[in-house]
Amino acid sequence: MAEQTTRMKTVCIIGGGLGGLMTGALLTKEGYRVTVLEKNGNIGGGLQGFSRKGHLFDPCMHVFGGLQPGGNLRAILQHLGILDKIKLEPYHDTLVCGDERLTLPFGRDAWIDAIGGGKHNEELNAYVDALYRLSDSEDLFNMRPSNGAPHEVENISAKELIERHISDHDLRQRLTFILHLYDGRPDSPALLHALTSVLHIDGIYSFVSSAQTMAQALADIITAGGGCIHTGSPVTAIEADGKQVTAVLCGNERHTADQYVGSISIGALLNIAPKGAFSPAFRNRIKSAEQCCSAFCIYAILKPQTMKQENASYHILRRGANPWDMATTQPDQWPHNMFLMTRSDRGDKRYADTMTIVVPMTFESVRPWEDSTLGHRPAEYRQWKEQMTAQAMHMAQEALGPIETEYIEAASPLTVRDYNGTTHGTCYGLHTSVDNLAYTTLSTRTRMENLFLAGQDVNFHGMVGTSLTAVLTAETIVGRNVIVDQINRERKQTILTIWKLLK
């Protein structure tokens, strides 16, 4: 009896990416012993870094917001006690289109002045008001306790939002620089556009060395709390008895816990989940759901001292290209746009040493080789990759001038699919549509009483979205607002301490 009352509650998490590790760290803080099962040899999923010739690259986590004083991500990292363990530096969105180059400062007023070039302030003010109003409708985004009921927001698309407020054609184009960060399409919800835009207006950051530092910091919380992380452990099946999950299987290994969290792509989870966990209608809905596009990525080591280091998050748009069709499937028109960033890591901070380019690309482009696996792709695929690399590098050089590389490597949607285990190598999970919002957002609960969902498919993707969903998932297990209330108490305490010090 005594043993029963003191036994730690346990949770088993499938997927050791940001969603799984963040949910695990939050639950560890709530007294759970957490086991994370990760299919890859490394933890991190989208937080995973890799090294080439002594240089570190981040394939899936480049820039993100929420870190300004009072920001949602900052509050979560502070709550977990790891803010000072992760080295971050500010990056500035820099829009490049033809000869135009525009660097956007942080903060609402300065941002408006810069993006409008000192003109259109009235229209821009109304537009940015609308962005903040929309983002304010999300309790968790603002770290407010919630009663679980969604706030009413006008159901319009991102495109309609821009066109409603902005009359100038060029300014409309400029405001679409953000689209590739959520795979914006004509039917993407204004809310998604607003959340992404507000994060960027408030300020974006990148890791000084690698996103892997964050994966490690989260993993350390879990292991320090008595939990464990198993890498090289793909979950192949989930066993259930009635409405209870009883175990998850990694080949011959069986892991049991009180609660279970699936933090992998929902499509992959359906393949291993017991029949009763999801209704046939839900399964059909997910099968027919559209995915956000994938990406073609280039990782380059630059010749020493050939390019100045700017902490810039470049958004390069081909002049005349349709920004609402970023992942164009027309090979001769590809790329329409790209994200590009550089890092300095050889010691002389004035110069860039590595470059990462991310170009939206649909899975259709790699369909001919979809049955191939990592390390076993045919020669034809490799030739195609070289051609795509040349096209992307050509566009980057047109925008930024000559780029001298020492080493260059590319990854396609097949690489993203096979490393992250996502459907069609999607960057941001399920595509959400304003025409069918309820259909394209998921609950953290399943039909199983002790199986919950986390990860980017549930709500909102990216560093901030997936971290906020982790709070939601953990609160589904420990109780509504339990973590948000703690975070707010901690914030008040910090303000009080600073106030006392200043007095």
Ligand X SMILES: Cc1cc2nc3c(=O)[nH]c(=O)nc-3n(C[C@H](O)[C@H](O)[C@H](O)COP(=O)(O)OP(=O)(O)OC[C@H]3O[C@@H](n4cnc5c(N)ncnc54)[C@H](O)[C@@H]3O)c2cc1C
Residues that bind ligand X (CB under 6 A): 14-20, 37-40, 45-46, 59-64, 234-235, 263-264, 268, 295, 297, 358, 416, 420-422, 427-428, 455-456, 461-463, 466
Nearer of residues 38 and 138 to ligand X, judged by Cβ: 38
In DSSP notation, 395-442 reads HHHHHH----EEEEEEE-HHHHHHHHT-GGG-SSSBPP-GGGHHHH--
Question: Please, which residue, 124 or 396, has the CB nearer to ligand X?
Answer: 396
CA distance 344 to 342: 7
Q: Which of 34, 14, 15 is nearest to 478 (CA)?
A: 34
- Closest to ligand X by CB, 124 vs 422, is 422
Residue in this structure with the two tokens 């820039």, named with its chain if needed: 63
Residues 82, 348: Cα–Cα separation, whole Å: 28
In this structure, what DSSP letter does residue 444 have?
Answer: S
* Minimum gap (Å) between residue 46 Cβ and ligand X: 2
Q: Given CA atoms 138, 260, 442, 429 in this order, what sign does their dihedral have?
A: positive
Residue 43, C-beta contacts closer than 8 angstroms, at least 6 positions apart: 16, 21, 36, 215, 216, 219, 229, 231
Report, in Å, the least distance between residue 386 CB and ligand X: 19
Between 393 and 411, name the residue whose CB sits nearer to ligand X: 411
Quickly tell me which residue has 């990406």 as its tokens: 295
C-beta closer to ligand X: residue 44 or 225: 44
Cβ proximity of 61 and 356 under 8 Å: no
Strand partners, 316: 96, 338
Please name every residue paired with 14 in a beta bridge, in sequence order, or none if there are none: 37, 262
Rank residues 124 and 257 by Cβ distance to ligand X and give the closer one.
257
Q: Give 266 or 487: the residue with its C-beta nearer to ligand X.
A: 266
Nearest to 439 by CA among 272, 261, 284, 276: 284
DSSP 147: -
* Kind of pairing between the strands at 294-302 and 405-411: antiparallel
The nearest distance, CB 304 to ligand X, in angstroms, is 26
Residue 213 amino acid letter: T
156: left (phi over 0), alpha (psi -120 to 50) or beta: beta
> Smallest gap, in angstroms, from Cβ of residue 34 to ligand X?
14
Tokens of 91: 């990056």
Least Cβ distance, residue 312 to ligand X (angstroms): 14
User: Residue 331 and residue 398: Cα distance in Å, rounded?
Assistant: 18
* Residue closest to ligand X (Cβ): 17
Task: Kindly tell me which of 111 and 296 has the beta carbon lying closer to ligand X.
Answer: 296
> Smallest distance from the beta carbon of 361 to ligand X, in angstroms?
10
Least distance CB 163 / ligand X (angstroms): 26
C-alpha closest to that of 266 among 286, 247, 246: 286
Give the nearer residue to ligand X in terms of CB position, either 64 or 260: 64
**What's the closest the beta carbon of residue 113 comes to ligand X, in angstroms?**
25
Q: Least distance to ligand X from the beta carbon of 171, Å? A: 25
Q: Which is nearer to ligand X, 307 or 427 (CB)?
A: 427
- Write down the least CB distance from residue 400 to ligand X, Å: 19
